[in-house]
Amino acid sequence: MTFADHQLDPRLDLKLERIVDVPRELVWKAWTTPEHLMKWFTPAPWTTVECDIDLRPGGVFRTVICSPEGERHPLAGCYLDIVDNERIVWTDALGPGFRPSNQPNDCIESFFTAIIGLAPHGDGTKYTVVVLHGDEESRRRHEERGFTDGWGTALDQLVACIKDGRISG
C-alpha cells in the first residue's frame, strides 16, 4: 500500500501538512519511543502518562492522556504499516493482534486510522498527518473537537523537544 499518494477524500479524511525545521530521523524517534512520545504527544496542560509501543503490524500502540484534574482518556490500537523514517499507520478500530475493538475512543466516539508521513525537505521535514474516518459524521466531530489545533499543537511541542535537546540523536 503506498500512502504517499493517498487520494484525500475531503468528506471522510482530515489532513495536516507542515514543514518543520528538524531532521526527520528525530521526528521518527519522537513518534516511536514511548519515553520520547510522552514528552509531546498531548497538548499542554494535558499530559501523556502511559505509552506502549510495539512497532510492527499488529503490535500495540496505547496511550493514556490525563488532564490537570486527573481525568484520564485511554487510546488503544495497533499498528498497520511501518516504514522506518517514512510512514506510520495505526488504527484504534483494531487492538493488539488485529483484534476488533469493541469500544470507540471517547474523544471522537468513533474509530479512526492515522497515517503519519515524513519526507526530507531541505534540512527539515515535510510532516503529514492524514486521518481516515468511516463516515462524514465522524470526520466532522473530529474536526469540531479540534483536530487541527490538537495535532498542530502536539507537533509544535514535538519540534520544541528536539530543538531544546530533550529528544536527540
**113, 116, 151, 158: which one contacts its own copies (CB under 8 A)?**
113
Site for its own copies in 76-105 (CB under 8 A): 80-81, 89, 91, 93-95, 97-102
Q: How far is the CB of 35 from its own copies (least distance, A)?
A: 24
Q: Could you tell me which residues are beta bridge partners of residue 90?
A: 79, 114
Scanning residues 11 to 50, which ones bind its own copies (CB under 8 A)?
12
Rounded CA-CA distance 63/143 in Å is 21
Minimum distance from residue 7 beta carbon to its own copies (Å): 9
Residues in contact with 58: Cβ distance below 8 Å, sequence separation at least 6, in sequence order: 78, 79, 96, 97, 98
Q: Of 65 and 132, which has the nearer Cβ to its own copies?
A: 132
- As a whole number of angstroms, the distance between CA 5 and CA 16 comes to 15
Q: Does 107 bind its own copies (CB under 8 A)?
A: no
Residue 20 near residue 124 (C-beta atoms within 8 A): yes
Least gap, CB of 111 to its own copies (angstroms): 4
Q: Tell me the torsion sign for CA atoms 90, 95, 101, 107.
A: negative
- The site for its own copies (CB under 8 A) is made up of 1, 3, 6, 12, 56-59, 80-81, 89, 91, 93-95, 97-102, 110-113, 132-135, 138
